[in-house]
Amino acid sequence: MDKKSAVVETGTATERARSVEEMLRAPAAAPLAPLPLEVLVPEAKQQTPAVRQRVTRPDGRLHGLGQTKYIDDFYMPGMLYAKVKRAGIASARIISIDTKEAEAMPGVVAVITGRDVPCNSFGPSLKDQPVLADTRVFYSGDGVAAVAAVTEQIATEALEKIKVEYEPLTPVLDPLLSLQLETPGVHAPNPNVYWHKVIKKGDVERGFAESYRVFEGTFRTQMVEHVPLEPHSSLATWDANGRVTIYSTLGRITLGRADLSRTLGIPMSRIRIIATVVGGNFGGKNEITTEPIVALLAKKTGRPVKCTFTRPEEFTSSTTRHPLIMEYKTGVSKQGKLLARQIRLVLDGGAYCSWSETTLGKACILSAGPYEIENLHAEAFVVYTNKTMTGAMRGFGAPQVCFAYESHMDDIAKALGIDPLEIRLMNTLKEGSLSPTSQVLHSVVVADTLKQAAERFGWNGNGSKS
């Protein structure tokens, strides 16, 4: 590392910029490209120059120095700390919320409840989620009140002083039970099934009739929490012209501004969201959580307010991956060709919709697997339960159905005495194949990938490795 002085006055702009970059504390950045830029549009399957290039991540420098600022590393003069009181009960009617004792605590500056939220509902598709539960609690992690105090500890203790009177209701915890019409609606009068998709192709009944054998299997996956190392965090501060700036771990800025505009009842033009480097998202930071809360508390107190989730809150009150119950029925020819497939998916949709619509769609479209199936009927339901919200998590429904259709394929291969690799090669999608929703597929490399993978890990056929 050469010890150039900080001020570099000689040389071209490019040379000066490069020596500033070499300084230790400046994060590395991609070298300036000479203008005009040549625009390269590669052909499908063409090896582009960028692939296989070794590039140093620009943010690695500051990360390793411990200099990267995450939201919880921000402190502002006069800043207050907010904490949210969690219901701790899966389903209940809220009879009353008494915040007087909390408000009187030394060090507590403000307390808000659902009543203080101008429009107490938001959501990426269905606007069924409250900022703070007002009359009903739909899952144990629901927030029912929030406190802003001079220290995090005082805010946490103040939560205990907030008295909430609940009328407990019977929670619905089993998605299959929720699916049945007789079960009382979680969000009555709205039905428990809050989204539904069907994909039909060909004629499954005829396909089954023509099949040599029909296989059935039910597969289940569990709820998964993202566990980003960095907990959710947001910090709100208002300026003199009625505009709010929110620093947040949120990954979708415009969606956040739209949700804040709705919940706070102010135009989007008055809302600025600044998201910096995030300490892990994986889909779990794809929607607002405490942003409207800190905005309201900052407005009420006239001071910046920061709220950071505790690790337990990450588990109880942030979104998770949908558990799926997947029922597969597949008809095959004697040689192992898939002739017909019928699928029913039930997604445990938790207390609020969140990203369930997208997850449902993806799961449904991908549920057939990367295989040519002439006759297909895939039907998917997402249902409310009184459990932690299920939302976006890397894959959005794809991993769950992959587990199902690949396990199912292995079961079929075993029963027919066919090599699991061979049965797949027999059935994979090809160049020009139609997806279940009739999209014409290009750059289809399923068979090539399988063959190369099998070769690389020494697949010797029928479950044996060399």
Partner 1 sequence: MKAFDFVAARDARHAVALLAERTPTAKVKVLAGGTDLLADLKFAPTAHAPDVVIDISRATELKHISMTDEGLRIGALVTHTEIMASPIIRELFPALVDAAHTIGAVQTRNLGTLGGNLVTAVPSVDSGPTLVALDARVTLLGSGGQRQMPLAEFFVGPRKTALKADELLTEILIPKESVGKPTHFLKFGLRKGQALALVNVAASTWVDWDKQTFVAPRVALGAVAPKVIHATSAETFLEGRAITPDAMAEAGRLAVGDAKPISDFRASADYRRDLIAVLTRRALEAAFELARRRKS
Partner 2 sequence: MTKVTLTVNGEARSASVPPEMTLLRLLREEFNLTGSKLGCDVGDCGACTVLVDGKAVNSCLMLAGQADGRDVVTIEGLATMERLHPIQKAFEEKGSLQCGFCGPGVIMSAKALLDENPDPSEEEIRDALAGNLCRCTGYTKMIEAIQAAARVEDARPTAKSA
Query: Is cis: bond before 189, omega within 30 of 0?
Result: yes
Query: Which of partner 2, partner 1, none does 227 bind, CB closer than 5 to 8 A by kind?
Result: partner 2
Query: Which of partner 1, partner 2, none does 282 bind, CB closer than 5 to 8 A by kind?
Result: partner 2
Inter-residue contact 284 to 251 (CB < 8 Å): no
1 binds partner 2 (CB under 8 A): yes
DSSP one-letter code for 465: B
Write down the least CB distance from residue 282 to partner 2, Å: 7
Inter-residue contact 411 to 423 (CB < 8 Å): no
Give, rounded to a whole angstrom, the gap between the first and last alpha carbons of the chain.
Answer: 48
| Residue with Cβ nearer partner 2 (52 or 57) | 57
Query: Which of partner 1, partner 2, none does 65 bind, CB closer than 5 to 8 A by kind?
Result: partner 2
Query: Which of partner 2, partner 1, none does 226 bind, CB closer than 5 to 8 A by kind?
Result: partner 2
68 binds partner 2 (CB under 8 A): yes
Kindly tell me which residue out of 102, 122, 158, 230 binds partner 2, with binding defined by CB under 8 A.
Answer: 230
Residue type, 1: M
| Residue with Cβ nearer partner 2 (136 or 226) | 226
Give the C-alpha separation, 71 to 84, whole Å: 18
Residue type, 313: E
77 binds partner 2 (CB under 8 A): no
Kindly tell me which residue out of 123, 175, 207, 228 binds partner 2, with binding defined by CB under 8 A.
Answer: 228
| Residue with Cβ nearer partner 2 (277 or 434) | 277
Alpha-helix residue ranges (DSSP H) falling in 367-445: 398-416, 420-427
Contact range with partner 2 by CB under 8 A, out of 86-94, 160-168, 278-286, 406-414? 278-286
Quick count: other Cβ atoms within 10 Å of Cβ 334?
A: 10
51 binds partner 2 (CB under 8 A): no
| Residue with Cβ nearer partner 2 (135 or 153) | 153
The CA-CA-CA angle for residues 210, 214, 218, to 5°, reads 145
Write down the least CB distance from residue 160 to partner 1, Å: 6
153 binds partner 2 (CB under 8 A): yes
Inter-residue contact 400 to 322 (CB < 8 Å): yes
Q: Can you tell me which residue has the tokens 């409207």? A: 292
Write down the least CB distance from residue 241 to partner 2, Å: 30
73 binds partner 2 (CB under 8 A): yes
Q: Is 9 exposed, middle or buried (0-12, 13-18, 19+ CB in 10 A)?
A: exposed
For 215, residues 6+ apart whose C-beta sits below 8 A from its C-beta are: 328, 329, 330, 331, 332, 408, 411, 412, 415
Contact range with partner 2 by CB under 8 A, out of 94-102, 267-275, 294-302, 308-316? 308-316
Inter-residue contact 263 to 294 (CB < 8 Å): no
34 binds partner 2 (CB under 8 A): no
| Residue with Cβ nearer partner 2 (290 or 308) | 308
Query: Which of partner 2, partner 1, none does 37 bind, CB closer than 5 to 8 A by kind?
Result: none
70 binds partner 2 (CB under 8 A): yes
Query: Which of partner 1, partner 2, none does 157 bind, CB closer than 5 to 8 A by kind?
Result: partner 1
Closest CA to 71 of 293, 300, 269, 251: 251
Strand arrangement of the beta sheet that strand 108-113 belongs to: 108-113, 143-149, 80-86, 305-308, 233-238, 244-248, 271-275
Size of the site for partner 2 (CB under 8 A): 37
Phi and psi of 179, rounded to 5°? -65, -25
Contact range with partner 2 by CB under 8 A, out of 226-234, 262-270, 337-345, 367-375? 226-234
Give me the residues that bind partner 1 (CB under 8 A), please: 153, 157, 160, 310, 312
231 binds partner 2 (CB under 8 A): yes
Residue type, 268: M
310 binds partner 2 (CB under 8 A): yes
| Residue with Cβ nearer partner 1 (317 or 375) | 317
Query: Which of partner 1, partner 2, none does 184 bind, CB closer than 5 to 8 A by kind?
Result: none
Phi and psi of 29, rounded to 5°? -140, 160
The DSSP bridge partners found for residue 391 are 321
Q: Coil, strand or helix: which one is 310?
A: coil
Q: Is 14 exposed, middle or buried (0-12, 13-18, 19+ CB in 10 A)?
A: exposed
Q: How many residues does the chain have?
A: 466
282 binds partner 2 (CB under 8 A): yes
Write down the least CB distance from residue 250 to partner 1, Å: 25
| Residue with Cβ nearer partner 1 (318 or 428) | 318
Q: Which residues bind partner 2 (CB under 8 A)?
A: 1, 3, 24, 28, 56-57, 59-70, 72-73, 75, 153, 226-231, 277-282, 308, 310-311
